[in-house]
Amino acid sequence: MQIDTSSNLLEKNPAEEEIIRLVGFRVNPDVEGVEFYSIFLEANVDKPLIIDERFAFFTEINAAKNIIKNSNLCEKTDLFEVKGEIDYCCDIAETLYLIASQKLDQQAVVLNCINTILDLEKWLKIKGPEEFKQCLRLFADYLTFHQELEAFFENEKITRREITNALIWYVGAIFICSTIITSLED
């Protein structure tokens, strides 16, 4: 058997590829759908959207490209195309509901939310309690391979309340260090 060494796959390392993701966020359980948006650069070092040393969230999806131009990701504007839809949603309200009362997370809502929060946590200037970060990481690691929430709480020495407290602490810290842009004049 002969091996083809002329492949272009050898020329480009997927880890070097940069992708800009539009992420929706929902916090209020009384609101249906996305309340605001942000941008993440997925690269060797993932980066959230930051303006004036603060996490930047915005309420108008069509403003995304202009907001990127005024951010830490301004050199990556050409990577972003406004498609009118989000790449994924960090649904904090649904995550808290699922953690508090449900046995299953069939759509990985909790995993997506916790991973997004942990990605933002890396850029926080406020350092949270290590036990909060550890319990969120342990839960996310478990959810990567399982949908059963109840089984985690039965087998681990971490309670639903501890996960909820950790998540709420980090969400609070993130929003304290954020700005929400409601118009391009902000």
- Domain housing 152: 16-181
Has residue 1 been placed in a domain? no
| Total tally of structural domains belonging to the chain | 1
Has residue 55 been placed in a domain? yes
pLDDT at site 83: 77
Distance CA 107, CA 143 (A): 11
Has residue 2 been placed in a domain? no
Place 74 in a pLDDT band, splitting at 50, 70 and 90. confident
Q: Exposed, middle or buried: residue 67 (CB in 10 Å: 0-12, 13-18, 19+)?
A: buried
CB 184 within 8 A of CB 62: no
Has residue 186 been placed in a domain? no
Has residue 69 been placed in a domain? yes
pLDDT at site 184: 66
More confident site: 162 or 12: 162
Has residue 67 been placed in a domain? yes
Q: Taking 50 as the threshold, does the pLDDT of residue 10 lie above it?
A: no
Q: Which helix (H) or strand (E) holds 97?
A: helix 92-101
Has residue 4 been placed in a domain? no
β 178-181/19-26 pair status: unpaired
E strand intervals along the chain: 19-26, 36-42, 47-48, 50-51, 54-58, 88-91, 178-181
Has residue 9 been placed in a domain? no
